[in-house]
Structure formats: structure tokens, C-alpha cells
Copies of this chain bind each other. A is one copy, B any other.
């Protein structure tokens, strides 16, 4: 079973990623996710750089992005991701009222996705344009 790679035990390549995460997020240490990915330095680096690019403020703000991340993680049932992105969303400003509405929408979407499947609903012509 894999174990986390701590900073003190990390290679220079891994440390460079850890340092960038800590600086970018202004945190004293990286989360377990990164300490496990560190077993594959190429994946660690690629994943971090992709996330840094994707989660940066753009047409959507970081809070909206974190809530979308959480909705996907809840849909997939990834316990680690629900915990970590729930924390990240709260840190980015998600109130409990916002969390409640996010869960309500996520739950309902999962329900109506199956109703649409089960009733074999054809796509409306208006949505094909």
C-alpha cells in the first residue's frame, strides 16, 4: 500500500512542486493527495500544473470552480475529494446556505439524469441547433 512522501524525504523534482503548491496556495504543507501522487513525479507535476491553470480566476471565479469540483466529486462518490474540495470551497467563501443549495442541485441533477435515461427522452429539436 502506498505511503505519503514527506518534504524531507522528497527528491528535488518533487520538492519543487511542493514548493510551488505551498507558495501558490499560501499553505505550510501540501495535502495527502500530493504526497501520494509524488510516487510518480511526472504525474505529480502535470496534475499540479493542470490544476493551477484550470482553477485560476478566469471567466468563472475560484468559488464557482470549487463548487463545480465538489458537485462532480459528490456525483462520483470520491470520499477524499468530497472532504478536500469541501474544505477548499468553504475557504473560497462557500457559506452553509450555498453548500445546501449546491447539494440540492447536485442531488436533483442525479435524479433527473436517470429519469431522462429511463423514459428514453429524445433531444428536443431546439437543443440540436
Q: Mark A21-58, 1 if CB is under 8 A from B, else 0.
A: 00000000001110011011011001100110111001
Q: Identify which of residues 67-88 in chain A touch chain B, using a CB-to-CB cut-off of 8 Å.
A: 67-87
Of all chain B residues, which has the CB nearest A27?
Answer: B126
Q: Are A55 and B105 in contact (CB under 8 A)?
A: yes
- A113 CB contacts on chain B under 8 angstroms: 72-73, 76-78, 81, 110
- Copy total for this chain: 6
A98 at interface (Cβ–Cβ under 8 A)? yes
What B residues does A73 contact at CB under 8 A? Answer: 109, 113
Query: Please, could you name 28 A-B residue pairs with CB atoms under 8 Å apart, sorted by A?
Result: A1-B129, A32-B122, A33-B116, A33-B121, A39-B100, A40-B100, A46-B53, A47-B107, A47-B115, A59-B97, A64-B64, A64-B67, A68-B105, A68-B109, A70-B118, A72-B72, A74-B118, A75-B75, A75-B76, A75-B114, A76-B109, A76-B113, A79-B120, A80-B122, A81-B109, A86-B120, A108-B111, A110-B111
